[in-house]
Structure formats: structure tokens, C-alpha cells
Amino acid sequence: MLGLRERKKAKTKAAIQQHALKLFRERGYAETTIEQIAAAAEVSPSTFFRYYPTKEDVVLTEFMDSETFRLMVEAPADLSPLQAVAYAIGQTFGNMPDEELQLEFTRNELIQSVPELRRGMLAEITRPIELLTEAIAIRLDRPLDDPDLRLYAGAAIGGLMMLTRRTAEMGIPEMMRSLRDGIERLERMLTLGPV
């Protein structure tokens, strides 16, 4: 359980990100300044920089969060690793309030349309690969340093990124159907052999 100070910091960080995404949606990414984001979140620009070193980071931070991978680890044991990912994503989006969901769609759309964010996402890709590798290792009771897990996770994350390219135009039911269909195709292509 987080202490009061940690909860306050997490709340401030989330508020900055939410206000930034709203401003990007309304005004455009390039047209929105850090000063405008800070003012909307009722913090100083120096507080913004304490949480996010750059404007790019406010979009890219926690694009694939550890909570989703925790849900994957805790998914029903009979699900394959990729089915567990779909389960976790469904749980995450299914429990998200509409406004937060729209901001997630905005974030995804920004990453697809703003060149510096696309480049930043490619640089950030190792974090979700590491998280997925760890989640698969736990689910399958395999060693974390198994090189097959990392390759599998990298291929899966790449596939998932391609599957979610057009989610901004979809509602949740359509997005989840598309994700399940895509994961079925990925499962036919990716296999994780025995240790």
C-alpha cells in the first residue's frame, strides 16, 4: 500500500498526463506548450519536469503499464500467454471510465501520427518487452533469462502494436473483437517450445 506522499505524487503525475492528453486532443501536439499543460494541471513548469523530463514523455510514459502485465500474470491458468494478454487488456479497458478510455485512444492516435512520438515509442519498446518476458516467465514457471521468452515477447509486442494502430476509430467491443482476432492470428504464427 502506498503512503500518503506516494499517493499524492501518483495523483499529480496522472493529472498532468490527463490534462496534457486533453490539450493535445483539443489544440494539437505541436501547438501545446509545457506551460499550458502545467497551468491546466495547476502545477508549475518545474513540477511538470519533475514528473516528465520532456513533452514526449507525458504521452509515452506507461503506454504499456505494469498493471496490465500484473493482470496477465493473474489471468486464468488455462489461457495461453497471448490469450492472457488479451484478458489483461480486456480487464484494463473494460474497467476504465469513458473519459480515461478516450484519453488512451488519444494517446494511441498521437503515437501513430506524431513522428517524434513514433520514434520515442520505438526507443521505449524495451520496457514492455521486459514486462511481458517477466509475466510469461512467471505464468509458465520458466527462468527469466530464457532467451526464447524474450524473443517471443518481442515478437508479441510488435504484433500487438500493429494490431492497435487503428483503435482510435473503434469502440471497446469492436476493439476487443479485433484484438482477439489478431491474437488468434499471432498464436498461429508464434510458438513457444519447451525449455
The pLDDT tens digits of the residues spanning 113-125 come to 888 888 888 777 8
pLDDT one-digit tens code per residue, 39-55: 999 999 999 999 999 99
Going by CATH, does the domain composed of 62-189 fall within 2.60.40.3080? no
- CA trace torsion 195, 90, 124, 130 (10° rounding): -20
Q: Please, what is the average pLDDT of the chain?
A: 86
Among 28-42, 49-63, 74-88, 167-181, name the most confident range.
28-42
- The residue among 173, 157, 156 whose CA lies nearest residue 93 is 173
Which positions ≥6 away from 9 have C-beta within 8 Å? 51
pTM: 0.73
Residue 14 reports pLDDT greater than 80? yes
Task: Return the pLDDT at 173.
Answer: 77
- The residue among 168, 173, 175, 138 whose CA lies nearest residue 153 is 138
What CATH number belongs to 4-55?
A: 1.10.10.60
Residue 167 reports pLDDT greater than 80? no
User: Alpha helix locations (H) across the chain?
Assistant: 4-27, 34-41, 45-51, 55-60, 66-73, 81-94, 98-113, 115-124, 126-140, 147-163, 172-189
When pLDDT is cut at 50, 70 and 90, the band that residue 92 belongs to is confident
What distance in Å separates the CA atoms of residue 34 and residue 58, rounded to the nearest whole number?
10
What are the φ and ψ backbone dihedral angles of 114, each rounded to 5 degrees? -100, 115
CA 135, 139, 142, 147 torsion-angle sign: negative
Residue 62 reports pLDDT greater than 80? no
Residue 64 reports pLDDT greater than 80? no
What distance in Å separates the CA atoms of residue 107 and residue 115, rounded to the nearest whole number?
13
Residue 171 reports pLDDT greater than 80? no
Residue 17 reports pLDDT greater than 60? yes
What are the boundaries of each domain within the chain? 4-55, 62-189
